[in-house]
Amino acid sequence: MDLATFLIQCLNSLQYGLLLFLVASGLTLIFGIMGVINLAHGSFYMIGAYMAYALAPVVGSTFGGGFFATLFVGLVLAVIFGYLLEWVFFSFLYEREHLQQVLMTYGLILVFEELRSLLVGDDVHGVQPPDFLAGTIPLGEMMTYPVYRLFISGVCLALALGMWFVFARTRLGMMIRAGSTNREMVQSLGIDIKFLYRVVFAAGVAVAVLAGMVAAPVSSVYPGMGNQVLIICFVVVVIGGIGSIRGALLAALLIGVVDTFGKVIFPQAAGVLVYVLMALILLWKPSGLFKAG
């Protein structure tokens, strides 16, 4: 492997890892703060990707188009969707056992997948990146790297920073952190915990949808894409330590590297490497790299 290939693989790992982080961060938030095991989280990613495919022409005809306009409309829809979903389906689940939540969110996966099939069909679709991001930059003498992939990494990094800022530096973040430690205490201090949960849930959904929208031009849009990302995101969440954003970032980057280089170096065993990594890490540290706190 020469230097240019190595560099490209590094950039690919970074991009994949950051994208995983984006989806997994919503999962770890909902998991860590609200204690809900949300199997339907992968579906939000899928919904985002299909939005990127289906919304672009609609937004194009009403607002005069534009890539960022589509992203914005998608994001607004996602927040509304997440808010309503929490209200209707999740708000009565917090006191139930974890496994009841698993059952409910499994039902939601089936419903979302089938609604997708009814509304958009079962075909695989490609999504074009916007013109101004469609180019490539040269790397070395022979290789080039698509600008759009760099753009994905940039968006993910910006969001990661934004999330860190909200959590560590704002009043809202403080309330959320307090709410995850002791729900009753926060409630008795006069903070509307139900509303807070709804906001966190909506934010988690929005981030996953955004990840799907941004990823659509690279991954293309296909049935079952949500389930594929779901399992790998659970791996990220668990390796990082449940509820830990920092852990999720580190774990996502680690998995990005292992998966990308695994596919190049051991193409035969690429699929299994991630799971071997997870098993080894959990046998070494039985509650993930960073314990939530």
Enumerate binding residues for other proteins (CB under 8 A).
31, 37, 89, 92-93, 96-97, 99-100, 102-104, 106-111, 113-115, 117-118, 227, 231, 234-235, 238, 242, 268-269, 271-272, 275-276, 278-279, 282-283, 286-288
- For residue 262, the minimal CB distance to other proteins (Å) is 11
Residue 40 or 211 with smaller CB distance to other proteins? 40
Task: For residue 143, report the phi and psi dihedrals to the nearest 5 degrees.
Answer: -95, 155
CA 284 from centroid of its chain's CA atoms: 26
- In whole angstroms, the minimum distance from the beta carbon of 172 to other proteins comes to 26
Cβ partners under 8 Å of residue 233, min gap 6: 20, 23, 24, 27, 41, 42
In angstroms, give the least distance from the CB of 170 to other proteins. Answer: 28
Question: CA 242 from chain center: how many Å?
Answer: 15
Which residue blocks in the chain are alpha helix, DSSP H? 3-34, 41-63, 67-85, 98-120, 147-169, 171-181, 183-188, 193-219, 225-240, 245-265, 270-284
Q: Looking at beta carbons only, is 8 or 93 nearer to other proteins?
A: 93
**How many C-beta atoms lie closer than 10 Å to residue 65's C-beta?**
14
Closer CB to other proteins, 104 or 163, in the complex: 104
Quick one: 99 or 124, whose CB is closer to other proteins? 99
Structure tokens at 188: 């008795």
Nearer Cβ to other proteins, position 74 or 241? 241
CB of 39 to other proteins, least distance (A): 8
